[in-house]
Structure 1
Amino acid sequence: MARKLNKILLLILKLAVSSSLLYFVLSKTGVEKVLTIIKTINPLAFIGVIFIYIFSIYVSSIRWRLLLPEEFKGKRLFSFYLIGSFFNTFLPGLVGGDAVKTYYLYKETNKGSLSFASVFMDRYIGFISLMTIALISFAAGFKYVKGSLIEWLLPTIVFSFLIGSFTLLRLRLGKGIKAISEFYGYFNAYSSQKILLTKALLLSCAIQVLSILSMYIIALGLGQHIYLSYFFIFFPIIVTISTLPISISGIGLREGAFVLLFGMAGVKPEMATAMSFAWFLSTASGGLAGLFEYLRLKT
């Protein structure tokens, strides 16, 4: 009961943070201005980004397959990934996408530790690539973030990630418990497979590049001809900040970061906000494919 109450309170807190940040951003830009800009987007650009998003999920499922010791059909894992993306987008804070993927894989294998460990490893490698690219972007575009909140926020996020990794993987807390011991055993088995991990990291980097290109296409669809280099500098930083678990799906955090960073490239606040919303709407539309997969597997 207490756990359920804590979950509800956390969700309310995240809603409050997202709502407050959105209110702040939209009070500066104007809701009508942002909506008017979004309506002008080229439909081909919007649809194109939907397909890029679905393709990136497919690439993610290939990465996940690499991290499984047993043979699984790629189509099956792709299906699980689609469903997970749907829950991540439309039911954030209630049912996590990773929990959904773990559940479906467990149904296939009846191996709880393997299912959880592979999903965790898949997510972990994704974070490693994101943090690495974000740090490179941070260094390349430091003149844009110097003196802003991001100057210390991004290094804090990366440092926290490193501390968390050390605590979990080096100190091996709870290793006396069988399920946790099996979890660490999975990591031991894969930590020595350098070629496999390199492939997984390269796929993760490819996924990040696809995300950057999708954002660039959204900007073009809104009539913005911004240098592609700005997207490679700003977008990984924006995505990293959006991963902070203090809002709903990064809503509010993402829009604020868009306005701040792309404003330094000469983009007006209302346009930067529209770019953020249009990108989110396109990926959310792609996430609907997961709903169809969920209903298909349920029948």
Structure 2
Amino acid sequence: MKKVILLIVRITVIVLAFYLVFRKLSLQDLLQAWRSIHAVWLIPALLLYNLSQFTSARRLQHFYHAIRVNISFQSNLLLYYKAMFYGLFLPGGISGDAYKVIRLKRVSTVSNRSLITATFLDRATGLMVLVILIALLLIRVLEIRYTWLLWTGTVLIIIAVTVLAAWLIRRYMAEFSLAAVTGAGLSVLIQFLQLASFFCILQSMSTPVHQWLSYALLFYLGSVLSAVPVSIGGIGIREWVFATGSGWLGLAASTAVTASLLFFLLAAGSALVAAFLPDPALHPSGGTRRVAPDG
């Protein structure tokens, strides 16, 4: 019953979000934006997006290796894509992150707590990098007065937060110290790959290059808000961010929403492929091996 209620809430949020979106643009403008798409640019967009997911799987693997879950990259990649599929196409069932934890727990004696912590830190590392990029883009795009002061303050805050996060991990989760450093570096690469994918989508609609940084800001804001589990794969939430933000930044709402929907379709298509892939070989002889309990 709880899962049904959650699914109803998510569908309601999606419907409400799109209602708000279509209050800001006409269906005719949206259709015109779709007609302007040069599909050839969607090929590199798709490739770059999936390269970002391969990198995301590698980042997660580093966190699993930190707790001695020695899963191979191939198995981890299959697990990652299967989790994407479950999270997007079976929203009333098990979540993607829960799927990964349950599958790994079946073939490992590592505690649930360690598996959940590794999965959480993987997400948190990516979110931290996203927030930093948003802060930097806000200063650049909005061109606020006293920019030098804002740059200085922002950089100091970023350093302080990074040092605090590093201390907390080293103090309470020392086994993840190296994985967190590697994960932060991979997170930067992941976000730039996804942004490059999104830029290809913008190019497919002949969007002026001087507007790309404004779109980048909306893209990252949408990524953060769509991570909140009140929708299905962020659908609706990201489009609302683009429709609302485009008005503030002087962008065409039809182009912004179309670009957002295209990115979602690329992500959904990539996740759908996992439905036809074999289950990852998660057993002692094919990826993850049984290890001694933590501690």
Q: Same fold (TM over 0.5)?
A: yes
Q: Is the 8 A contact 1:22 1:251 kept in 2?
A: no
Instruction: Check if 1:58 corresponds to 2:57.
Output: no
2:42 is aligned to 46
Q: In 2 relative to 1, CA 108–225 (structure 1 residues): closer, same or farther, beyond 3 Å?
A: farther
- Distance in structure 1 (CA, Å) of the matches to 2:171 and 2:232: 31
Please state how far the C-alpha of 1:81 moved relative to its aligned partner.
Answer: 0.7
Q: How does 1:250-289 map to 2 (within 5 A)?
A: 250-289=234-273
Q: How does 1:135-146 map to 2 (within 5 A)?
A: 135-142=135-142
Please state how far the C-alpha of 1:72 moved relative to its aligned partner.
Answer: 2.4
Please state how far the C-alpha of 1:122 moved relative to its aligned partner.
Answer: 1.3
Please state how far the C-alpha of 1:204 moved relative to its aligned partner.
Answer: 0.7
- Distance in structure 1 (CA, Å) of the matches to 2:172 and 2:215: 34
2:90 is aligned to 91
Q: Which of 193, 196, 200 matches 1:217?
A: 200
Please state how far the C-alpha of 1:103 moved relative to its aligned partner.
Answer: 2.2
Q: Is the 8 A contact 2:55 2:186 kept in 1?
A: yes
User: Which shows bigger deviation, 271-280 or 236-245?
Assistant: 236-245
Q: In 2 relative to 1, CA 295–25 (structure 1 residues): closer, same or farther, beyond 3 Å?
A: same
Structure 2 regions of 5+ residues with no counterpart?
145-160, 283-295
1:149 is aligned to none
Q: Is the 8 A contact 2:79 2:280 kept in 1?
A: no
Q: In 2 relative to 1, CA 274–26 (structure 1 residues): closer, same or farther, beyond 3 Å?
A: same
Q: Is the 8 A contact 1:130 1:236 kept in 2?
A: yes
Report the 3-state secondary structure (helix = DSSP H, G, I; strand = E; otherwise coil) of the residue aligned with 1:224.
coil
Report the 3-state secondary structure (helix = DSSP H, G, I; strand = E; otherwise coil) of the residue aligned with 2:107.
helix
Aligned sequence identity (%): 23
Q: Which of 188, 192, 195 matches 2:173?
A: 188
1:104 is aligned to 103
Instruction: Check if 1:134 corresponds to 2:134.
Output: yes
- Distance in structure 2 (CA, Å) of the matches to 1:248 and 1:85: 11
Instruction: Check if 1:291 corresponds to 2:287.
Output: no
Report the 3-state secondary structure (helix = DSSP H, G, I; strand = E; otherwise coil) of the residue aligned with 1:22.
helix
Report the 3-state secondary structure (helix = DSSP H, G, I; strand = E; otherwise coil) of the residue aligned with 1:246.
coil
Normalised by the length of structure 1, the TM-score is: 0.75
Please state how far the C-alpha of 1:76 moved relative to its aligned partner.
Answer: 1.0
- Distance in structure 2 (CA, Å) of the matches to 1:11 and 1:117: 26
Please state how far the C-alpha of 1:142 moved relative to its aligned partner.
Answer: 4.3
Q: Name the Cα RMSD after superposition.
A: 3.0
Q: Is the 8 A contact 2:215 2:256 kept in 1?
A: no
Instruction: Check if 1:197 corresponds to 2:180.
Output: yes
Q: Is the 8 A contact 1:92 1:248 kept in 2?
A: yes
- Distance in structure 1 (CA, Å) of the matches to 2:20 and 2:215: 24
Q: Which of 191, 196, 201 matches 1:208?
A: 191
Q: In 2 relative to 1, CA 196–244 (structure 1 residues): closer, same or farther, beyond 3 Å?
A: closer
